[in-house]
């Protein structure tokens, strides 16, 4: 088994790479932008002579929060370059490989069913529009290549990933890491805990290693040319997550302030997991245990 992973230095990429290495493939190539700048058309040609069995395409250019609002044009252009160049290389030089890519829950209509069959239905949420549409175009690309040339793909759409291994500084973190960062800074520096919105927004988490395990389980079933949501199947309010963190860190929940004028993105986002649940047991780490592990991993990282 020869494997290539783009975006291997990211949160999911590092955890996935560790898992794949433990499975002892014949060869595994782990890429970040220093090894292969995927915005350049020939960046992957250095690997033309290796015949890969699987290509995991995780690389993308984005951040959480209001990043997509402030960088909409750049986000669209850069992700289109990354995805187009990677798909083109797959088609031209790696036809034997299964192309495994990551979709996004942001691509679904905000008030839709969040079922895989609706991935292209209606408009995504406006605040994440450019990122969501670049992910839809990625999916359109792999489907189009598959239909015309018979290549194989699988797409996985995760809910928000969490767990150890996240790089917290010098970027806008995803919501759960941002929450934990604020609570840690409160403990370390007595900095005020100010959460965006009223705390009633609904979010869904899946532990990163659970996501990876379920993804590999599906791959091992030799299913091709499908898209699968992988999530917890249930969501909780931001207040609920905050209360778990308070309990774990011995913080009074009443010390939290809510900024109701701040950017909050989607009010509710929970994936429908009926499709994958028919194939694998979505057994997951208990939420409190997963958050505890995440806090422990982040505590010394937060400045």
How high is the pLDDT of residue 104?
A: 94
Q: 259 or 291: which carries more pLDDT confidence?
A: 291
Distance of alpha carbon 33 from alpha carbon 217, whole angstroms = 29
Contacts of 200 (CB under 8 A, 6+ apart): 237, 238, 239, 267
How high is the pLDDT of residue 253?
A: 94
Q: 64 or 11: which carries more pLDDT confidence?
A: 11
How high is the pLDDT of residue 2?
A: 97
Kindly indicate the confidence band of residue 265, based on its pLDDT and cuts at 50, 70 and 90: low
Distance of alpha carbon 76 from alpha carbon 61, whole angstroms = 9
Tokens of 211: 């996501």
- Tell me the HSE value of 6 on the side-chain side, using a 13 A CA sphere: 28
Q: Is the pLDDT of residue 171 over 90?
A: no
3-state secondary structure of 3: strand
Q: Is the pLDDT of residue 172 over 80?
A: no
How high is the pLDDT of residue 177?
A: 94
Q: CA torsion angle for 181, 183, 186, 191 (degrees, to 10)?
A: 60
Cα distances from 186 to residues 39, 53, 66, 194, 286, in angstroms, run: 40, 47, 23, 10, 25
Q: Is the pLDDT of residue 284 over 80?
A: yes
Distance of alpha carbon 303 from alpha carbon 296, whole angstroms = 14
Tokens of 285: 């780490």
User: Please, are residues 284 and 210 in contact by the beta-carbon 8 Å criterion?
Assistant: yes
Name the phi and psi angles at 120, rounded to 5: -105, 10
Of 28-32, 194-198, 214-218, which range is least confident?
A: 194-198
β-partners of residue 227 are 155
Distance of alpha carbon 57 from alpha carbon 221, whole angstroms = 20
How high is the pLDDT of residue 267?
A: 77
Long-range contacts of 73-82 (CB under 8 A, 24+ apart): 73/130, 75/130, 75/131, 75/134, 76/130, 76/133, 76/134, 78/39, 79/131, 79/134, 79/135, 79/138, 80/134, 80/137, 81/38, 81/39, 82/6, 82/38, 82/39
| Percent of the chain surpassing pLDDT 70 | 99
How high is the pLDDT of residue 173?
A: 83
Q: Is the pLDDT of residue 263 over 80?
A: no
Name the phi and psi angles at 221, rounded to 5: -85, 0
CA-wise closest residue to 288 among 247, 239, 235: 247
Q: Is the pLDDT of residue 12 over 80?
A: yes
How high is the pLDDT of residue 236?
A: 95
User: Please, are residues 302 and 185 in contact by the beta-carbon 8 Å criterion?
Assistant: yes
Distance of alpha carbon 294 from alpha carbon 180, whole angstroms = 8
- Looking up tokens 């905050």 gives 242
pLDDT tens per residue across span 115-145 = 999 999 999 888 888 999 999 999 999 999 9
- Tell me the HSE value of 280 on the side-chain side, using a 13 A CA sphere: 23
User: Please, are residues 15 and 163 in contact by the beta-carbon 8 Å criterion?
Assistant: yes
pLDDT tens per residue across span 54-102 = 999 999 988 777 778 788 889 999 999 999 999 999 999 999 999 999 9
Looking at every residue in the chain, the average pLDDT score rounds to 93
Distance of alpha carbon 57 from alpha carbon 274, whole angstroms = 24
């Amino acid at each position: 088994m020869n494997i290539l992973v783009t975006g291997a230095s990211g949160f999911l990429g590092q955890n996935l790479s560790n898992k794949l290495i433990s499975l002892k493939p014949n060869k595994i190539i782990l890429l970040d932008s220093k090894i292969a700048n995927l915005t350049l058309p020939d960046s992957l040609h250095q690997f033309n002579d290796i015949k890969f069995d699987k290509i995991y395409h995780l690389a993308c250019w984005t951040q959480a929060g209001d990043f997509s609002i402030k960088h909409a044009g750049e986000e669209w252009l850069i992700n289109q370059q990354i995805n187009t160049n990677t798909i083109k290389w797959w088609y031209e030089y790696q036809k034997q490989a299964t192309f495994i890519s990551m979709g996004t829950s942001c691509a679904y209509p905000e008030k839709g069913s969040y079922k895989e069959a609706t991935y292209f239905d209606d408009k995504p949420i406006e605040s994440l529009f450019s990122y969501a549409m670049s992910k839809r175009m990625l999916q359109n690309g792999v489907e189009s290549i598959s239909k015309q040339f018979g290549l194989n793909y699988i797409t996985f759409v995760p809910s928000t990933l969490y767990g150890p291994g996240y790089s917290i500084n010098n970027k806008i973190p995803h919501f759960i890491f941002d929450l934990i960062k604020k609570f840690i800074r409160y403990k370390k520096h007595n900095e005020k805990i100010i959460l965006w919105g009223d705390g009633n927004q609904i979010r869904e988490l899946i532990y990163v290693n659970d996501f990876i395990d379920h993804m590999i389980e599906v791959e091992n079933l030799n299913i091709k040319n499908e898209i699968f949501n992988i999530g917890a199947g249930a969501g909780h309010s931001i207040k609920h997550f905050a209360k778990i963190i308070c309990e774990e860190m011995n913080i009074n929940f009443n010390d939290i302030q809510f900024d109701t004028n701040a950017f909050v993105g989607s009010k509710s986002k929970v994936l429908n997991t009926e499709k994958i649940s028919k194939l694998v047991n979505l057994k997951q780490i208990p939420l409190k245990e997963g958050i505890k592990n995440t806090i422990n991993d982040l505590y010394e990282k937060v400045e």
